[in-house]
Homo-oligomer: A and B are copies of this chain.
């Protein structure tokens, strides 16, 4: 459980995209993926990500995010940092404001990992 200050997660490793269901995950990849899933494992971060992603232009500045929650600035800043270190968002400063946007590739890699082979799916999925 040593939680030293790791750099930003980079999920671009080749085998990262094979579904969980197709073959056992090797230990190291599991650690990388877990770090990203853990970043998604908080309601505030999930909403932050969603707010950024769905915001006009695909980006949002912190000032537009802070008011949505009953949380103080440092807390929002902390969550944004976690998302950034997980490789889920990127931020750049433009003048006074800092704009964040999502990294679609990381999001997509996660989606691929969770893919379920239709063969494994029970036949009658009552939608």
Report A's interface with B, CB cutoff 8 A.
20-25, 27, 30-31, 33-35, 37-47, 49-51, 53-54, 58, 102, 104-105, 107-108, 110-111, 114-116, 120-122, 125
Contacts and interface: CB of A to CB of B under 8 A. Distances in A.
Nearest to A28: B43
Q: Is the contact region of chain A dominated by helix, strand, or loop, or is it mixed?
A: helix
B38 A41 contact: yes
Contacts of A58: 120
Contact of A30 (B38, B46, B110, B125): B46
Contacts of A24: 47, 50-51, 54
Contact of A46 (B20, B50, B116, B122): B20
Contacts of A104: 21, 116, 120-122
A61 B54 CA distance: 42
B34 A50 contact: no
A25 to B, nearest CB: 4
